[in-house]
Amino acid sequence: MLSEEALIVAAAFGACGLLVLGVLELLWPTRPRRARRERPHATVPSALAAVPPGPEPRAFVEPAVTVALAPVAVPAPMMARAGRVHRTSALTRHQLEYGHSPYVRRASVLPGAGEAAAAMGAKSVVERCFALHQARRDAEVVVLGMAALQGLDGAVRPDDPQTTAALWSVIALARQALGEDAEARAALESAIAAATPADRPTYQRQLAALADGVAGGLLAEADRHSGPQSEERLAAIQSAVTWLRGGVAAMPADGRLADLAASAEAMLWSAYERTVMAFVQRQDFRAARRLLREALADPRFPAARVEAFRELFSGTFSGEIGQLTAQAIRSVQDAREVDALAALQRAESLMGTLSDEALSPKRREEVDRRLWWGYSKLGERRVASGEYEAALEPLFHAFGYDVGPERHQETRALLVRALDGIADTRALDIREQADAGDHEAAIVHCDRLWALLRSATEQGLTPDDVAAASTKVQRLFESLGR
């Protein structure tokens, strides 16, 4: 135990000794320091400053044209040395004019420097845009390239087709990098239109490659959709087919692209059919018909599918008519007469747009029975409530359907009851007018009642059906002196 304490004390004395030596060295150094001589730093002009290398170019469509960059003579950097001090006046050093404000500079000593720079920029606009694209400054590429093509901000517009087409090609690369695929395609179409016949295939290949890449992404997006019958999947396949057709039009000799376009079109027609069936199941018949019209209007729609798609088209009408008649029946049962009548009229108008071949005879008979039932029940409710005038319209609609003699007779009886009720109601009003001394008005209303009975016979009722009502009108005429 004593040996460890002695060791600690010895180490403490050693540390104190080293501390004292260090302090003495700072106060009285053993060797004098020599002043370090500052070396002048080399000053590199800002225009010649080294630019860090740009990032690796992205894997987009390779540029359509390779423009040879003109060699530029760059002076070798000189060793910086201390320059001599020139004792010049402040006016000369700061380019100021005598007798004027010190904030007004003199004119440049190099007249025409701006025009020379603009000319140099016009000659190298393609190279500059491509360098910006490699540096991933694609928004600047679009601004600079479009300004040159349109001659904006003093830019010199390219006057030869090769430079114009090359500039459009670089703009297309920038647009594609920005995710603006449609604008990239438009730029390449402009490049193809501006290019010489010798250069045109290059840009056509670039357009085909762009179409291939975009269509591949769209087809992959279509596969990611959960439901094969979703409208989003159909829209993605439609866009892919549009791109592939454009690519094939640009490069008809590309067999692989043509096979991909044919495969995508086959997917498109199947997607149309599945999406239409999904709409029909959801009873969205109008959306189903819209898609069917789009498919059938496509000039490349396969002839083998035309008949099936036309049957689907007719089936949407049949399904919607059934939906409307069911809705009308529910509305009648719930005493919602306005909704019932609107549904029945919509179903009837759809029936009028269909050809005889659109619905099978059995299906048409079923629809007729539903429409008859809806109109007949609506008229019956109105007759029972004493609304004889309002009951005529739905009853005459029901009377026009061929639903068998028994149902036809039911409607006929309801019409006779409605006409008798109208005759009784109007007869009271006519007699009141006659008693009040308004003889002419009474005769006018009596004539209208007689015209109503005559129109009923024109719509299918027999004279015997309206005999009772006609007798009442004749008695009115006799009481009025007619």
For 251-267, give the secondary structure using H, E and C: CCCCHHHHHHHHHHHHH
**Does the pLDDT value for residue 87 go beyond 70?**
no
Mean pLDDT on 7-29: 73
- What is the rounded average pLDDT of the residues 174-179? 94
In this model, does residue 181 exceed pLDDT 90?
A: yes
Q: What is the pLDDT of residue 34?
A: 46
Query: Within 13 Å and on the Cβ side, how many CA atoms surround 425?
Result: 11
Average model confidence (pLDDT) for the chain? 77
Helix (H, G, I), strand (E, B), or coil: what is residue 214?
Answer: helix
Tokens of 166: 């090359």
The pTM (predicted TM-score) of the whole model is: 0.56
Region 419-427: mean pLDDT is 89
Nearest to 191 by CA among 356, 277, 101, 65: 65
pLDDT for 151: 83
Identify the residue with better confidence: 8 or 482: 8
Q: How far apart are the first and last CA of the chain?
A: 152
- Kindly report, residue by residue over 456-470, the tens digit of the pLDDT: 988 888 889 888 888
Q: Is the pLDDT of residue 125 over 80?
A: yes
Highest mean pLDDT among 223-227, 269-273, 334-338, 351-355: 269-273
Mean pLDDT of 412-419: 92
Average pLDDT over residues 33-56: 36
| Residue 396 vs residue 106, higher pLDDT | 396
- CB 164 within 8 Å of CB 149: yes
CA dihedral 244, 246, 251, 256 (to 10 degrees): 10
Confidence of residue 23 (pLDDT cuts 50, 70, 90): low
Q: Which residues contact 305 (CB under 8 A, 6 or more apart)?
A: 269, 273
Among 29-43, 75-89, 258-272, 291-305, the range scoring the smallest mean pLDDT is 75-89
Contact assessment for residue 20 and residue 14, using Cβ atoms and an 8 Å cutoff: no
- Three-state secondary structure call for residue 105: strand
281 or 243, which is more confident? 243
* Residues whose CB falls within 8 Å of the CB of residue 415, separated by 6 or more in sequence, listed in order: 392, 395, 396, 399, 456, 461, 465
Query: If phi over 0 gives left and psi between -120 and 50 gives alpha, with beta otherwise, what is residue 51?
Result: beta
- Whether 242 shows a pLDDT value over 80: the answer reads yes
More confident residue, 340 or 44: 340
Mean pLDDT calculated for residue range 271-298: 90
Contact 476, 444 (CB under 8 A): no
Greater confidence (33 vs 379) lies with 379
The larger pLDDT score, comparing residue 41 to residue 481, is at 481
Question: With bands split at pLDDT 50, 70 and 90, how would you rate the model's confidence at 76?
Answer: very low
Task: Write the pLDDT tens digit of every residue in 304-337.
Answer: 999 899 888 878 877 888 788 788 878 877 878 8
Mean pLDDT across the stretch 118-124?
50
306-333 and 337-353 helices cross at what angle (nearest 10)?
160
pLDDT at 94: 45
Q: Which two tokens stand for residue 299?
A: 């000039």
**Residues above pLDDT 90, as percent of the chain:** 33
Amino acid at position 59, single letter? A
Alpha carbon distance 296, 303 (integer Å): 10
Which pLDDT band holds residue 113 (cuts at 50, 70, 90)?
very low
- The residue-averaged pLDDT of 116-126 equals 55
Q: Please, which residues have CB within 8 angstroms of residue 462's CB and are 6 or more apart in sequence?
A: none
**What pLDDT sits at residue 75?**
34
Beta strands in 235-365 (DSSP E): none
Give the Cα separation of 114 and 123 in Å (integer). 14
- pLDDT at residue 203 greater than cutoff 70: yes
Please state, in angstroms and rounded to a whole number, the distance separating the CA atoms of residues 257 and 213. 11
pLDDT band for position 249 (cuts 50, 70, 90): very high
110 pLDDT band, cuts 50/70/90, is: very low
pLDDT at residue 107 greater than cutoff 60: no
Residues paired with 96 in a beta bridge: 105
At 358, list the tokens. 């659109």
CA-to-CA distance for 476 and 360, rounded, in angstroms? 51
Tokens of 60: 């987009």
CA–CA distance, 331 with 312 (Å, rounded to integer):
28
Give, in degrees to the nearest 5, the angle at Cα 465 between 463 and 466.
Answer: 70
In this structure, how many other beta carbons lie within 10 angstroms of the beta carbon of residue 165? 25
Band of the pLDDT at 106, cuts 50, 70, 90? very low
| pLDDT exceeds cutoff 80 at 28 | no
SS3 content of the chain, % helix, strand, coil (to 5): 70, 0, 30
CB atoms within 10 A of CB 150: 10
Range picked from 188-192, 230-234, 344-348, 400-404 for highest mean pLDDT:
188-192
